[in-house]
Amino acid sequence: MFFKHVYEPGLAQASYILGCQATAEAIVIDPRRDIDVYLEIAETEGLTIRSVAETHIHADFLSGSRELAAATGAEMLLSDEGGPDWQYRFAHIGLHDRDEFWVGNLKFEVLHTPGHTPEHISFLLSDTAAGEYPVMLFSGDFVFVGDIGRPDLLEKAAGLLNTKEPGARQMFQSLKRFTVLPDYVQVWPGHGAGSACGKALGAVPSSTVGYERLLNWALQIEDEALFVQELLTGQPEPPTYFAMMKKLNKEGPEIVGGIPYPARLSLTRFQKLLQDGVRLVDTRDKFAFAGGHIPGSLNIQDNGDFSTWAGWMLDYKEPFMLVAGEGRIEDLTKALIRIGLDNVIGYIPDLNNWSMAGHELEILEQLSAHELFERLAQAEVYIVDVRNQSEYDESHIPGAIKIQAGQLPDHIADLPIGKPVVVHCLSGDRSSVAASYLQSQGHKHVINLTGGIRCWWEADYPLERAEKREQVIA
C-alpha cells in the first residue's frame, strides 16, 4: 500500500493519497483545489488516480474533487447521507453508511458520522493484501487529534438556525461508533492545530483510536447534556467566508483547469484600477506597511494566515489587486483559489514606481504600551481589542471594546470618527489587518499598539476580565 499525507499549513488542512501498488490505482481523500500536488505524487509513484472521495461538504476550503476528476477522469465518491438539504448538487457516486468500495486491494468501509455536519462520513480502511483487519480511519472533521468537530458552524457561519444542539447530540452518538473500533486503528483527521473547525486540535498529524479514547476530552464525558454544553462552549469565531465555501462546495466549485497567474500591472493600468475603486491588498509585512503604504490598501501579510484573512476581509464578488513580490505570486494565487477567491486581476511587485511618480504614501501610527497607558489616563483614545472572544474574556485592557478583526466590516459605524482609535491584538498581526481596514474606510486617526497586549502584560499595567465589564461588541 502507498500512503501520503498532504498538509496545507495555511488552512491547517489535511488530504490523503493512497494507492494499491499491485494494480497501480490510487484514491485522493478531501483534496484541495490546487491539485498539482496529487498529480505529481501519482506520476512519481507510477499510480493512476481512479477515485476521489470527500468526508463532508467542507466549510473552510474549496474542494478539489471536481477539479481532480476533470483532470484525471476519476470517479467522485461523495456522501448521500444527511437528508435532502445535505446533498451535493452535481453528478457523483453516492455513498451511504456501511457501503464498501475498493481501490485495488484497498477496502474502504463508509461510516456515517454526523455531528460536525449531517452528511459527514468517515472511511475505514483495510489493506487486504496484508490482512482483513482495519488499519486506518480517515475521520475528516469528525475526530481530530485531541478534539472533535464543532457542530455550531452551520448556525454561526452558514446561518442555519437551531442546528448546533441537534448536531452536538448527533456527535455524541457518532462517538459511540468510534469508541468500539480497535485501539490500534490509526486516525487521520482532516485538520490540525490552527483550524477553526475545532477548539483544541493537536499539533501532531495523526493518532490512534486507543490514544483518543484515553486522552481526547470529548471521550471522557458520559453524560449527553454535559457533553453538549462542553462542546458548544469556547469555540472560536468562524470566518465569514465559511458560508460561501459551504454553498460553493455543495453546488460544485468552478473548474479552473490550472493555476491562474495574475498580470503584472503597468503604473498607468494600476492607477486606473485604483481610480475605479478596485481593492488593493498589500501583502508586505506589518512593519513595512506601517512605514508607508498606498492609501486605501488593506494589509494582509504573506504568512501562514493569508488565506484565512483574505477570506475574512475580501468580497467574493469584487476584483482586487496585490502588492507582492514576483516570486510569491504563484503561492499567493494558490492560497486564494483554495478558498474560491479567483478574482485577483493583477499585481505590482513593490511601491517604487508609485512613489517615483510623485504619489504620497500613508503611514500607520504606532503606539507603545507606555504611551497608551499615559493617553488612557487622559481619556484621549478609544481602544478596540480585535482578538477572539475567549482571549478577551481571559483579560483585556480596561475600557477596551471587543470587535473581532474579521467582524469589523459589520461594526464600522460603531466607532467614533473624531477620536483616535487604538487597535490591538496579541502581538500585532491581526491588528495590522484591522487598522488598515479602518484606514481604508476613512478613519484617519487609527493607531496600532506596538507588540499588542503582550507588551501591556509585560509592563504590568492594569487588566480586566469579561465578567467585570460588559462592553463587548460582536
- Where do we find the cell 464498501? 100
pLDDT tens track for 136-150: 999 999 999 999 999
Neighbour-count burial of 73, counting CB atoms closer than 10 A to its CB (0-12 exposed, 13-18 middle, 19+ buried): exposed
pLDDT tens track for 219-237: 999 999 999 999 999 888 8
Choose among 383, 366, 409, 349: nearest CA to 462: 383
Architecture category of domain 2-251 in CATH:
4-Layer Sandwich (3.60)
Return left, alpha or beta for 127; rule: phi > 0 is left, psi -120 to 50 is alpha, else beta.
beta
Q: What is the pLDDT of residue 467?
A: 57
- Grid coordinates representing 418 are 473624531
Top pLDDT among 155 and 456 is at 456
Contact 344, 320 (CB under 8 A): yes
Kindly state the average pLDDT of the residues 282-302: 97
In whole angstroms, give the CA distance from residue 27 to residue 16.
8
HSE-CB for 375 with a 13 A CA cutoff:
17
Architecture category of domain 263-356 in CATH:
3-Layer(aba) Sandwich (3.40)
Q: Which of 3.30.70.20, 3.40.50.300, 3.40.630.30, 3.40.250.10 is the CATH number of 365-468?
A: 3.40.250.10
- Whether the pLDDT of residue 472 is over 60: the answer is no
Kindly state the average pLDDT of the residues 26-37: 97
Kindly state the average pLDDT of the residues 112-123: 97
Top pLDDT among 465 and 113 is at 113
Q: How many Cβ atoms are within 10 Å of 432's Cβ, its own excluded?
A: 26
Q: What is the pLDDT of residue 167?
A: 96
Contact 301, 307 (CB under 8 A): no
- Whether the pLDDT of residue 323 is over 50: the answer is yes
* SS3 of the chain: CEEEEEEECCCCEEEEEEEECCCCEEEEECCECCCHHHHHHHHHHCCEEEEEECCCCCCCCCECHHHHHHHHCCEEEEECCCCHHHCCCCCCEEECCCCEEEECCEEEEEEECCCCCCCCEEEEEEECCCCCCEEEEEEECCECCCCECCCCHHHHCCCCCCCHHHHHHHHHHHHHHHHCCCCCCEEEECECCCCCCCCCCCCCCCEEHHHHHHHCHHHHCCCHHHHHHHHCCCCCCCCCCHHHHHHHHHHCCCCCCCCCCCEECCHHHHHHHHHCCCEEEECCCHHHHHHCECCCCEECCCCCCHHHHHHHHCCCCCCEEEECCHHHHHHHHHHHHCCCCCCEEEEECCCHHHHHCCCCCECCEEECHHHHHHHHHCCCCEEEECCCHHHHHHCECCCCEECCHHHHHHCHHHCCCCCCEEEECCCCHHHHHHHHHHHHCCCCCEEEECCHHHHHHHCCCCCECHHHCCCECC
Top pLDDT among 426 and 258 is at 426
Alpha-carbon dihedral sign for residues 228, 193, 67, 30: negative
Q: What is the pLDDT of residue 471?
A: 42
Kindly state the average pLDDT of the residues 322-345: 96
Q: How far are the Cα atoms of 217, 320, 366 from residue 276, in angstroms, in the given order? A: 52, 11, 30
Query: Is 455 a known active-site residue?
Result: no
pLDDT tens track for 261-285: 999 999 999 999 999 999 999 999 9
Q: In what order do the strands lie in the sheet with 298-299?
A: 263-264, 344-348, 320-323, 279-282, 298-299
Active-site option among 20, 197, 425, 455: 425
Choose among 190, 242, 212, 148: nearest CA to 6: 190
- Grid coordinates representing 130 are 496484508
- Grid coordinates representing 57 are 461538504
- Whether the pLDDT of residue 470 is over 80: the answer is no
Please state the domain extents for the chain.
Answer: 2-251, 263-356, 365-468
- Whether the pLDDT of residue 474 is over 60: the answer is no
Q: What is the pLDDT of residue 2?
A: 98
- Whether the pLDDT of residue 418 is over 80: the answer is no
pLDDT tens track for 62-116: 999 999 999 999 999 999 999 998 999 999 999 999 999 999 999 999 999 999 9
Q: What is the pLDDT of residue 239?
A: 87
Query: Going by DSSP bridges, is the β-strand pair 100-103/93-95 parallel, antiparallel, or unpaired?
Result: unpaired
Least confident stretch, 71-75, 165-169, 341-345, 467-471: 467-471
Same fold, 263-356 and 365-468: yes
Amino acid, single-letter form, for residue 212: E
Which residues, at least 6 apart from 194, have a Cβ–Cβ distance to it below 8 Å?
9, 12, 201, 304
> Residue 157 — very low, low, confident or very high, per pLDDT cuts 50/70/90?
low
Contact 147, 216 (CB under 8 A): yes
Q: What is the pLDDT of residue 473?
A: 42
Q: What is the pLDDT of residue 161?
A: 74
Q: What is the pLDDT of residue 108?
A: 98
